[in-house]
Structure 1
Amino acid sequence: MSDQDLVVGTVRDILTGFEPFVLTPERRWDAGLWTALAEAGLTGVGLPEEAGGSGGELADAVAIVRTLAAGAGAVPVAEQLLVAGPALLAVDLDLPSPEAPLTFAVADAVTVHPVDNGDGPGRFALTGTATDVAWAGVATGVVLLAPAPAGIEGSVLALIDASGMAATDAFNLAGEPRGSLVLDAAPASGALLTQAQADEVRARFALARAVQLAAVLERVLEWTVQYAGERVQFGRPLGKFQAIQMELAEMAGEVTAVTALTDAAVHALEHASPDFSLAAAAAKVRAGIAVEVVAKQAHQVHGAIGFTQEHKLHHLTRRLWSWRDEAGSDLAWSRVLGAGVLAKGGDGLWPALTRVV
C-alpha cells in the first residue's frame, strides 16, 4: 500500500464519522470534520514541513481534495492545500498554521497601497470589497490576488487576518459561504507578482475546482450505475433498458474525459510545465461541460427520488452546479485556452494541443 493510499484511507475513515449535511447560515461549515482533519495533520499535506506544513507531494494533497469532494466535506481544504498555501510559499511569505482554515479569492476591485512601517517591504493596506470569497466568515486567513498599486505593473498576493472580520451572508447553490469582505485599509503581508505568476495562481484556483468537479462527477456516475442496477421497473432493473444504458455510457464518457484532462493538468503542475495554465484551463472547461450532462442524466435515472432533500444525490449535484461557475467561468477559461494555443502559431498548434492533453 502506497503512502497516498494510506492518506486516502485515513480521510475516508474520518469522513465516516461526519455525514454530509445541508449547510445553512447558522451552520456554514463542518467544524468537527475540519478539527479531525487538522488533528491528523491532513490540512497541511503537500506543504513543506520546514514551512509549517505536514510534508508530502502535490499528488497527496490532490488525493485528499478529491476524497473530501466526493464525500461532500464542507471544509476549505481545496483552497488551503492547492491554492492559498502554495501561493504564499511560492513568494516566500509565511504560511499560517495549517490548523487554521485558509482560503483564497481574486479581488480585482480591491485597491492596494504600500505601507512603510519600518518592518521592511511587503506590507500593504487593502481597501475595497472582496466579493465571492470562498468560506468567507469561516476562514481565519484569506489570501487575495489584487491589482498592484497605482503605477506598478503586475498583481499583489496579500494575506489578511480575517478572524475578526464580518462577512456578508452570501452562499453558492450548495450552501457554501461565498460572502464579501469589506476592507478599510486592512493590514496585510504580501508580495508583488509578475503577470505570469498571477496567471499561475489563477490557474491553480481553476485546477482546484476541476479536481473537485472530477471527483464528484465520478461519484455521481458510480451512484447512478448502482441505482440503475438495483431499481426494478416493469419487471427488470433500469440498467437493462437500452435507453438507460445509453445515458450511463454517455455519462461515463464525460467523466473519463474530465478525469484525463484533470490528471494531465496536475501532472503539468507537478513538473512545472510552461503549459500548466493551458492544461488547467482545458480541465476546468471540460469539467464544466460534463456537469451539464452528468448532473442532468443522473437525476433523470434516479427519477423523483433524486430531487428529494432526504436523498444523497443533491449533496453532490448542487456542488457540481456551484463549482462549475467558480474560479472563472467556462467562457473565461475557453478564451485563455484559445488565446494560448493560437499564440503558438500555425506550426506550434498541434504540439501545443498534444502537450495540453
Structure 2
Amino acid sequence: MTTAEQDLVVGTVRDILAAHEPFSLTPERPWDPGLWADLADAGLTGVGLPEEAGGSGGELADAVAVVRTLAAGAAAVPVAEQLLVAGPALLAAALDLPAPEQPLTLATEGAVHAEPVDDGDGPGRWTLTGTATDVPWSGVARHVAVLAAAPAGIEGAVLALVDAEERPSTDARNLAGEPRGSLVLAGASAPGALLRPAQAATIRARFALARAVQLAAALEQVLAWTVQYAGERHQFGRPLARFQAVQMELAEMAGEVTAVSALVDAAVRVLDRGDDVILAAAAAKVRAGAAVEVVARLAHQVHGAIGFTQEHRLHHLTRRCWSWRDEAGSELTWSKVLGVGLLAGGPDDLWPALTRVV
C-alpha cells in the first residue's frame, strides 16, 4: 500500500475502535466479538496476507500498522497473532490459511508431539498428543497453529493447524484478562508440515516481535496520555507539567518509548527485507520489556490514585504491557538468544555482529 492508503487503513481502524470502548475482560466476556466482526467486515483481519490465499493483500508494514493501532486502543481481539505470526507461518509452510473472518492464533508452549498419520488421508496429516499451554485467546480463536515437537529421530518441528472448536481447553487469563488457557490435543489429527529448526525459531521470533510491536504502541499511548494529564491536572495553582520533577519523569518516559520504537521499527524492516529476524526480534523484545517497568511505573506515579481505578483508561494498557512483557519469551529468554547469537562469530566478529542486529 502507498502511504496514503496505509493512512486510510489506520483511519478506518480508528473509526471502528471509536465504536468499541475498552472494557475489563472477564470469564463471561473474554474478548470483543463485535469489534472483531466489524474489523472482519472491513477486511482488516486479512491485511498483509495475500489475496490469492484468502487474505486482503497489502504488505507487512500495513499489517503492523493495523496491529499497532489496535494495541494502542486496548482492542480485545487476536489480530496480532493472526496477521503477524500464525497467518504468515501457515503460508510459509504451504498450509491452507483459514478464512480471515475466523479468529486464528498460535501455540508455541507446552509439551506437544506430532506423529505422521498413515490412514489413507495422504501426506501432510499429523496426530498431535500432549497439551499446548499459554495459548493466546484460547477458547476464543477458531483455529490454532500449533508448533509441535517432530517425531523422534527427526530434526525440526511440526506446524499443524488445529480446529480449536473440537478440542477442550482450560480457562486461564493473563493480568489484563486476555485468555491464555491450555489446549488439550489428545490424538488430534490435523494438517501440518515439517519445519527445519531455523523455520521454527523464526516463528518464535515473529511472535516475540509481534508482542514488541504491541508494547511499542501501548507505551507510546501511555506516554501521550501521561503528557496530556500532566498538562491538564493542576496542583498548587499550576499544571503538573510545570513541576521540574514531573518534567524529568516525562522526559525519562519519552526516552524509553523512543528507544523501543526505534528498535521495533528496525526489526520490522529486517523482517520485511526477508533477512534473519531472530536477533533483531530478540533485541526489540528485550528493550520493549525493559521499558515497561519504567514507563508504567512513572505513568501511574504522575496520574496518582486515579490511574489505578477501573474507571480510568490507563489500566487497560498498563496491565496489557505487564502481561505482554512476559509473553512470547521474557527479557531473560531473549537476552540469552541475543547473547549467543552475538558471540557466535567469535570475539573478532562481536562489533560487526552488534551493528548487524538491526
Q: Counterpart in 2 of 1:288?
A: 289
Q: 1:3 aligns with which of 5, 9, 17?
A: 5
Does residue 225 in structure 1 map to residue 227 in structure 2?
yes
User: Which moves more between the two structures, 98-107 or 346-355?
Assistant: 346-355
| 2:326 is aligned with 1:325 | yes
Aligned partner of 1:124 among 123, 126, 129: 126
Contact kept, 8 Å, 1:258 with 1:286, in 2: the verdict is yes
Write the distance in 2 (CA, Å) between the matches of 1:195 and 1:243. Answer: 50
Of the structure 1 ranges 235-244 and 104-113, higher mean CA displacement relative to structure 2 is found in 104-113
TM-score, normalization: structure 1?
0.98
* Aligned residue in 2 for 1:135: 137
- CA contact under 8 A between 1:108 and 1:145: conserved in structure 2? no
What RMSD in Å do the two structures reach over aligned CA positions?
Answer: 0.9
Q: Which residue of 2 aligns with 1:144?
A: 146
Which portions of structure 1, spanning 4 or more consecutive aligned residues, are displaced by more than 4 angstroms? none
Whether the 8 Å contact between 1:48 and 1:55 is mirrored in structure 2 is yes
Counterpart Cα distance in 2 of 1:182 and 1:91? 23
Q: 2:198 aligns with which of 196, 199, 202?
A: 196
1:314-341 CA-to-partner distances (Å, cap 9, x unmatched) read 0000000000000011100000000000
Which of 14, 29, 40 pairs up with 2:16?
14
Q: Residue 35 of structure 2 aligns to which amino acid in structure 1? A: L
Q: Which residue of 2 aligns with 1:88?
A: 90
CA distance in 2, matches of 1:6, 1:18: 19
Structure 1 residue 108: Cα displacement: 4.1
Alignment of 1:344 onto 2:345: yes
Counterpart contact for 1:264–1:356, Cα < 8 Å:
no
Instruction: Measure the CA separation in 1 of the matches of 2:192 and 2:80.
Output: 21
Question: Counterpart of 2:304?
Answer: 303
- Once the two structures are TM-superposed, the CA of residue 116 in structure 1 deviates from its matched residue by 1.2
The answer to whether residue 332 in structure 2 is matched with residue 356 in structure 1 is no
1:17-166 paired onto structure 2 within 5 Å: 17-166=19-168
Deviations 1:4-52 (A, max 9, x none): 1011000000001000001000101000000000000000000000011
Q: Name the amino acid aligned to 1:168.
A: T
| Contact persistence 2:234–2:240 (CA under 8 A) | yes
**SS, match of residue 321 in structure 1:** helix
Aligned amino acid, residue 338 of structure 1: G
Total equivalences in the alignment: 356
Identity %, equivalent residues = 77
User: Partners in 2 of 1:335 and 1:122 — Cα distance?
Assistant: 34
Task: Give unpaired runs (5+ residues) of structure 2.
Answer: none
SS at match of 1:130: strand
**Which residue identity does 2:23 align to in structure 1?**
F
Task: Name the residue aligned to 1:186.
Answer: 188
Aligned counterparts of 2:214 and 2:84: Cα–Cα separation in 1: 11
Amino acid at match of 1:161: D
Q: TM-score, normalised by structure 2?
A: 0.98
Aligned to 1:254: 256
| Alpha-carbon distance between aligned partners in 1 of 2:299 and 2:45, rounded to the nearest angstrom | 32
Residue identity matched to 2:332: L
Q: C-alpha separation between the residues in 1 aligned to 2:8 and 2:351? A: 39
Give the conservation status (yes or no) of the 8 Å contact 2:110–2:131. no
